[in-house]
Amino acid sequence: MKGLLELNDVETFIGQYHILQGISIEVKKGEVTVLLGRNGAGKTTTLRTIMGLNPASKGSVAFKGEPIHSLPTYTIANKGIGYVPEDQGIFAGLTVEENMKVAIQKENEETAKRMDWILNLFPDLKKFWKKPGGLLSGGQKQMLSIARAYINENELLLIDEPSKGLAPIVVEKVMDSILQMKDQTTIVLVEQNFMMASTIGDCFYIIDDGRTISHGTMKQLKEDEGMKRKYLGIA
């Protein structure tokens, strides 16, 4: 099966730093692909490169077979890619409602349905609908960021470390929500929390020093103690 998203030998510089030095990934439709690796390995930059926020200097990124690596970020987003950044990217001075409104691309029945679904999934957002985004807790901000990426009919969601800095009980809630979204959209997930990654993920890519060094199904990774110990620090 041809991948929904394909990165082929992608290289990216941030200033003078050569961050990505050869990333090749194939994301299959309907699956959750997890990017794993040490801090600073290049996982976040990979997502930012897909979004055009740190454009690739070499290699190609294709979405549904169409090259997107030279397109501006807003065009890439409009092709159907939702992005949940590592810092959540909440507009602190806008209310929860306004944060959602900025994200909505088309106001139609489908969007209204998705809004109902997402507010049922994250009742806290409904509860704090008129509260500024900056006053939400870390978990609520994460929920808002995911909700914002999901509200449009995006075929692909890029989610960067959703469990980062959250209490275990909130991590479970976020994980549960991603599991529910999994049935409806394709997801690329960057995650350090191996429990979460292995629960949600269908397949994995390990990134080290800006290169994809291994990939396979999550089942294979769970059974490969050597790989887990070497690259993920899991004993």
Q: List interacting residues with other proteins (CB under 8 A).
A: 51, 53, 72-74, 77-78, 83, 85, 89, 91-94, 98-99, 101-103, 105, 148, 152
Largest CA distance in the chain: 50
Closest CA relative to residue 50, chosen from 215, 213, 186? 186
Q: How far is the CB of 78 from other proteins (least distance, A)?
A: 4
Looking at the Cβ atoms of 38 and 79, the one nearer to other proteins is 79
State which residue, 104 or 119, has the beta carbon closest to other proteins.
104
The structure tokens listed for 36 are: 């794993």
Q: Where are the alpha helices (DSSP H) in 34-167?
A: 43-50, 73-78, 96-103, 109-121, 123-127, 138-150
Smaller CB separation from other proteins, 73 or 199: 73
**Closest approach of Cβ 222 to other proteins, in Å?**
32
Which one, 83 or 128, has the nearer CB to other proteins? 83
Q: How far is the CB of 82 from other proteins (least distance, A)?
A: 9
What is the smallest separation between the CB atom of 230 and other proteins, expressed in angstroms?
33
Report the candidate in 34, 31, 29, 25 with the shortest Cα–Cα distance to residue 6: 25
CA distance 199 to 202: 9
